[in-house]
Amino acid sequence: MLRDDVQPISVDDHVVEPAHVFVDHIDSKYREQAPRIVERDRTQGWLWEDRFYPLSFQGNARTRVFREDESGRGDDLFARRYEDMIPAVYDVHERVKAMDEDGVWAELLFPTFPRFGGTQFLEAEDKGLALAIVRAWNDWMLDEWCAAYPDRFVPQTLVPLWDVPEAVKEIERCAAKGSRAVLFVENPHPLGLPSFPTGHWRPVFEACNETGLPLSMHIGTSSGLLMPSPETTPSVGIALCGINSMSALGDMIYSGVFNGLPNCRVALSEGGAGWVPYVLERLDYTWERSRYEGLQNTERPSEVFAQHIWVCIVFDLYAIQNRHLIGIDKLMWEADFPHNDGNWPDSRKLLAEALVDVPDDEAARIAELNARELYRFPRAG
């Protein structure tokens, strides 16, 4: 069961950037060109390179502030103005109050305007400006948001996906400033970038191996979720989001991205974990029997997973029941605040219910200790 002294760490939560982020933290050379909040047709959004990006926050019935003409369902779950969100979505002090109410000790945050893996900035016409924006977001996260409550937030930072040498430099710069993870994408190919099998990303994986920063690969960062047909409801992709993580896992392992990099680690974010035993069995079986051209991993896939990959759950009783097949040290927990999958302000309560039959030491590993070890985030004091 979940003891009272356990401090749950959520390894997948989200923040909507407040309006001052880029203007205040960007290199002064680019301040006039920095993304800034403007209003158009009763909608607030970011203006950047003469393009307007409406605020798009997917809340739930407890994290959205609904107006009288909104139903609270479907498109109405998406906030288009700051006042349509509870302040904890974008204000660090209100966030900590919400975490206290939720029984969550610490969070690892994913961006909103940059998108979960920083893919927004691939659209940049001025790549120098885009690099300055990436650095500004990172400095805001490290120097302002996380610095306000250093024992409550695990810092993670973006990289410029269009420039591998600059990405390596940014990993090293942010690691020196205290970053504990690198935001990345689950599959670069659909984004028009070189794939994992090409070896293009090897310097990024090497930099993470050297600095000890895990790569965070959130579902959907490859440009979307499963959509079998144009008529398919988006609920299909959301329900089966683990397919994205399964694909990323298989692609990275068979591509040999971890070969010779013992300290390179990846966290698959919001993809669940109940599927892990089956997928590892299939990867092992195929690796042993069908050595097609391009298969580059030198160790059994299940052994690669055990050394390099972590997974997380928000509500996945099957994963908890099969935790030893997954690896008790590989399983972490997420609250997904303030998104629709989240359960604020009852996250700890529901986590405790899910872990009620789990031995205390194993429950502590899932809720807190695995995250502290992966992200090198010890308890304060």
Residues 6+ apart with CB under 8 A from 359: none
Q: Most distant CA pair in the chain: distance in Å?
A: 61
**DSSP codes of every residue in 286-343:** HHHH---TT---SS-HHHHHHHHEEEEESS-HHHHHTHHHH-TTTEEE---TTSTT--
Beta bridge partner(s), residue 48: 51
Beta carbons within 8 Å of 201's beta carbon, 6+ residues apart: 164, 188, 194, 257
The sign one gets for the Cα dihedral 275, 278, 282, 287 is positive
Overall pTM > 0.85: yes
pLDDT at 206: 98
Digitized pLDDT (tens) for each residue of the chain, 381 residues in all: 999 999 999 999 999 999 999 999 999 999 999 999 999 998 999 999 999 999 988 888 899 888 777 776 666 668 889 999 999 999 999 999 999 999 999 999 999 999 999 999 999 999 999 999 999 999 999 999 999 999 999 999 999 999 999 999 999 999 999 999 999 999 999 999 999 999 999 999 999 999 999 999 999 999 999 899 999 998 899 899 999 999 999 999 999 999 999 999 999 999 999 999 999 999 999 999 887 888 999 999 999 999 999 999 999 999 999 999 999 999 999 999 999 889 999 999 999 999 999 999 999 999 999 999 999 999 987
Cα separation of 175 and 229, whole Å?
42
9-32+87-374, which class in CATH? alpha beta
- How many CB atoms are closer than 10 A to CB 213? 25
**Helix, strand, coil in percent for the chain, rounding step 5:** 45, 15, 45
pLDDT at res. 74? 65
Confidence at residue 134, expressed as pLDDT on a 0 to 100 scale: 98
List the end-to-end C-alpha distance of the chain, in Å, as a whole number. 25
Mind giving me the DSSP string for 104-171?
Answer: --EEEEE-STT-TTSGGGGG-S-HHHHHHHHHHHHHIIIIIIHHHSTTTEE--B---TT-HHHHHHHH
